[in-house]
């Protein structure tokens, strides 16, 4: 009790009640008592997933990577095909939001013609990734496909052609490429799966995904809904770190959009949620990224850069670290480096909640760099995709003003939604702490030229 719940009041009889409930749900033999120690989950590996455990599939996405098929007829390519699958399993296992079946279990299907739904049922997974390897002379072709085993539909498929110079380099490259594409594909599929359910019927994972979907919309109403669903996720699963990390992002957005709470209050709430996530997962990249945003929004660029770099180092496949890094670099006038980090964030999750903010910062980088044509186009593209997102409007109008295209700036002013008017006041009445004085003066100059 002291090891698990240090400093928290948990009574032994409450623990016994929970164990009794679990035993009734799982059936005889699944939980055994170890005298003077505690309890053990006793899972017979050879047994098929019992019907009582099918509900586990409502949690975080589960995935099995089957051994890739060697299509070359060359026994030596068998090792290469196995190596590709093993590298993908290793890299996927680093992503904490996935449950990935270990190699020893998924490789029991090697050399067998299998039905994806049967594999998913036997391993208790929602998604199955399989692929093939074919070699011709000094070139190799790898095909991979990700299947939603519950529907039988393809979520993602891709083919890779490479020169086979260094076999291990090619293995690593292909594995990284596959991870970069299937991770956002799974997250997108999970959001679509959760959207439309009433909040009372959602699991913690589904509430989290629905919250992310609302955050990605960019408007104040969706921001409020996103916070509501994320709070629901933390209530349903108090040990789930990711909702706390994204709540931090939500509180930051609420404060910096100008229509929510005061900035200092929003930053305090964001830091609290980020640290709650880190208590549950000390290497949570999203939480570290949120601390970078908090430091930046308080005007501490050095601390923000350090936290953003820690976020990237903790998980190179997590887009939020690169997004925070891009923000910090752009406002420190390291514009090319900032755009590079933002580009990585967009490649890692091209349909996630980070997209509008990443695209906005690309526009900001062009404006700070005085490439007003590029800034106007980038800001206009964000508005076209996310019309309720207030932040691009000032940069569109300022860019058009700098280009002496006052008629277009005036037309853009007429399209500004009410929520963006509040944001204009937020960024113009006082200098936001993450703006350098000269960058803020530059923005005001463009806005005045654009007719604001």
- For residue 333, give the CATH number of its domain: 1.25.40.10
Mean pLDDT by 10 residues, the chain (452 residues): 75 78 75 80 52 47 86 73 83 75 80 81 84 82 86 83 76 78 76 63 79 75 85 88 90 74 88 94 90 94 95 86 96 95 86 84 96 96 88 94 95 85 84 92 95 90
- For residue 92, give the CATH number of its domain: 3.40.50.10610
Same domain, 297 and 354: yes
Nearest partner of 131 among 62, 182, 206, judged by Cα? 182
Residue 193 lies in a domain: no
Q: Which of 125, 148, 180 is the last residue of a domain?
A: 180
Residue 191 lies in a domain: no
Same domain, 62 and 38: no
Same domain, 394 and 301: yes
Residue 136 lies in a domain: yes
- Report pLDDT for 47: 42
Q: At which residue do the structure tokens 């990249």 appear?
A: 285
| Distance, CA of 163 to CA of 142 (rounded, Å) | 11
Token pair recorded at residue 407 = 């008629």
- Report pLDDT for 56: 41
Same domain, 377 and 265: yes
Parallel, antiparallel, or unpaired for β 99-100 and 31-34? unpaired
Which residues form the domain of 210? Answer: 199-449
Same domain, 208 and 339: yes
Same domain, 64 and 39: no
Residue 159 lies in a domain: yes
Number of separate domains in the chain: 3
Cα→Cα distances 379→207, 364, 394, 403, 404, Å: 31, 8, 9, 14, 17
- Report pLDDT for 76: 66
| Distance, CA of 133 to CA of 72 (rounded, Å) | 7
Same domain, 249 and 339: yes
What's the pTM value of the predicted model, to 2 decimals? 0.65
| Distance, CA of 226 to CA of 429 (rounded, Å) | 28
Same domain, 216 and 352: yes
Residue 4 lies in a domain: no
- Report pLDDT for 426: 83
| Distance, CA of 260 to CA of 257 (rounded, Å) | 7
Residue 2 lies in a domain: no
Same domain, 92 and 172: yes
- Report pLDDT for 422: 79
| Distance, CA of 224 to CA of 226 (rounded, Å) | 5
Nearest partner of 293 among 317, 262, 271, 269, judged by Cα? 271
Residue 186 lies in a domain: no
Residue 344 lies in a domain: yes
Same domain, 364 and 405: yes
Same domain, 400 and 280: yes
Same domain, 101 and 203: no
């Amino acid at each position: 009790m002291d090891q698990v719940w240090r400093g928290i009041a948990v009574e032994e009889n409450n623990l016994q009640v929970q164990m009794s409930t679990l035993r009734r749900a799982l059936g005889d033999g699944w939980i055994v008592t170890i005298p003077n120690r505690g309890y053990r989950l006793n899972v017979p590996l050879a047994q098929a997933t019992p019907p009582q455990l099918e509900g586990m599939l409502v949690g975080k996405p589960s995935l099995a990577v089957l051994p890739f098929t060697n299509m070359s007829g060359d026994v030596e390519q068998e090792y290469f095909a196995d190596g590709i699958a093993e590298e993908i399993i290793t890299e996927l296992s680093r992503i904490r939001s996935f449950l990935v079946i270990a190699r020893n279990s998924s490789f029991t299907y090697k050399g067998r013609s299998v039905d994806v739904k049967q594999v998913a049922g036997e391993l208790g997974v929602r998604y199955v990734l399989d692929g093939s390897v074919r070699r011709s002379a000094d070139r190799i072709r790898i095909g991979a496909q990700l299947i939603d085993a519950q529907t039988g539909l393809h979520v993602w498929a891709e083919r890779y052609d490479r020169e086979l110079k260094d076999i291990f380099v090619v293995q690593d490259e292909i594995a990284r490429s596959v991870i970069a594409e299937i991770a956002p594909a799974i997250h997108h599929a999970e959001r679509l799966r959760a959207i439309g359910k009433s909040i009372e019927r959602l699991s913690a994972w589904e509430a989290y995904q629905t919250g992310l979907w609302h955050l990605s919309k960019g408007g104040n109403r969706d921001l409020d809904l996103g916070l509501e669903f994320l709070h629901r996720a933390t209530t349903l699963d108090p040990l789930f770190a990711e909702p706390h990390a994204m709540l931090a992002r939500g509180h930051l957005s609420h404060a910096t959009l100008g229509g929510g709470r005061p900035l200092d209050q929003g930053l305090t709430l964001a830091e609290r949620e980020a640290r709650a996530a880190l208590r549950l997962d000390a290497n949570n990249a999203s939480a570290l990224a949120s601390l970078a945003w908090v430091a930046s929004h308080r005007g501490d660029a050095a601390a923000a850069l350090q936290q953003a770099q820690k976020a990237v180092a903790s998980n190179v496949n997590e887009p939020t670290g690169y997004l925070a890094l891009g923000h910090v670099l752009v406002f420190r006038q390291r514009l090319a480096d900032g755009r590079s980090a933002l580009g990585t964030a967009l490649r890692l999750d091209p349909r996630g909640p980070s997209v509008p903010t990443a695209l906005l910062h690309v526009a900001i980088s062009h404006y700070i760099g005085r490439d007003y044509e590029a800034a106007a186009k980038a800001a206009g593209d964000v508005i076209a995709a996310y019309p309720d997102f207030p932040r691009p409007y000032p940069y569109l109008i300022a860019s058009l003003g700098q280009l002496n295209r006052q008629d277009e700036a005036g037309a853009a002013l007429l399209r500004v939604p009410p929520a963006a008017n509040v944001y204009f006041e937020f960024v113009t009445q006082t200098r936001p702490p993450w703006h350098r004085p000269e960058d803020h003066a530059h923005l005001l100059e463009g806005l005045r030229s654009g007719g604001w």
